[in-house]
Amino acid sequence: MKFYLPAIFLASVVLLPGCVSKAPIALNTPLSSPVSSTSTVEQTPTSVTSNWYTYTSQDNNYTALFPTKPEERIQSVKTATGNVNVKLAFYKDKQQNMTYLASDIKSDKKIPESEVSKALDEFRDGQLERGNKAVINEKKITMNGYSGKEFIAHSSEKNVYHRAKIFFDTKNSTFYQIIVVASQEADINSQSTTAFLDSLAIK
């Protein structure tokens, strides 16, 4: 069963200036296999995000902490059943060559709990299909009852790293994604990246 999810990887948003060619290397804190491990998202220490901006989505579905007030953009994405307008919040840190991004996307189909893992895989693949990205590590996660996945990918074409958490809310048929894209592997494993990803709160 295909869910015809929008393929969201926002090439216009996540362009990183000055990226240097770099082969994938071992992660400082590797993620476990999605088959053998499931973890629960924990709260980030407040010291990292104490001066960050609390962003609330336009539809009031989620909040996230950004290093500063993010920009907002609506992107029209083509799906098998028509176009979907996706509301994005993002911040480009030009000094660190990083982009922080969060959004929620309404599914055009009802997805039962038994199919959520497969739907999350399709959603992840939609993020990865541009830029020739390959998953380095991945694990299943949960947050307040919401099933999700965390993964790190590397693009040999764009020479960037991509770390994301994705969740699905079966009650409201909505996907949530929170992403950091960076040109350096160390930045993907940094406290700031982890703090941002852990700050997502679904209402």
The two structure tokens encoding residue 124 = 């992840």
User: What pLDDT, on the 0 to 100 scale, is given for residue 165?
Assistant: 97
Summarize pLDDT for 29-74 with one digit per residue, the tens: 344 333 334 555 554 556 789 999 999 999 999 999 999 999 999 8
User: What pLDDT, on the 0 to 100 scale, is given for residue 20?
Assistant: 37
Contact 163, 138 (CB under 8 A): no
User: What pLDDT, on the 0 to 100 scale, is given for residue 41?
Assistant: 53
User: What pLDDT, on the 0 to 100 scale, is given for residue 107?
Assistant: 84
Q: For residue 117, what is the enclosing H or E element?
A: helix 116-128
Task: Name 199's Cβ contacts closer than 8 Å, sequence gap at least 6.
Answer: 44, 49, 52, 63, 64, 65, 178
Distance set, CA 47 to CA 56, 70, 92, 201 (Å): 21, 20, 22, 18
Contact 82, 67 (CB under 8 A): no
> What mean pLDDT is predicted for residues 107-112?
85
Summarize pLDDT for 115-170 with one digit per residue, the tens: 999 999 988 988 887 667 899 999 999 999 999 999 999 998 888 999 999 999 99
Where are the chain's structural domains?
Answer: 38-202
Phi, psi of 115 (to 5 degrees): -110, 5
| Per-residue pLDDT band at 2 (split at 50, 70, 90) | low
Q: Helix (H, G, I), strand (E, B), or coil: what is residue 128?
A: helix
> What mean pLDDT is predicted for residues 170-178?
93
CATH class entry, domain 38-202: alpha beta
pTM to 2 decimals? Answer: 0.79
Contact 112, 11 (CB under 8 A): no
User: What pLDDT, on the 0 to 100 scale, is given for residue 18?
Assistant: 44
Measured between alpha carbons, how far is 2 from 40 in angstroms, rounded to an integer? Answer: 27
CA 138 to chain centre: 12
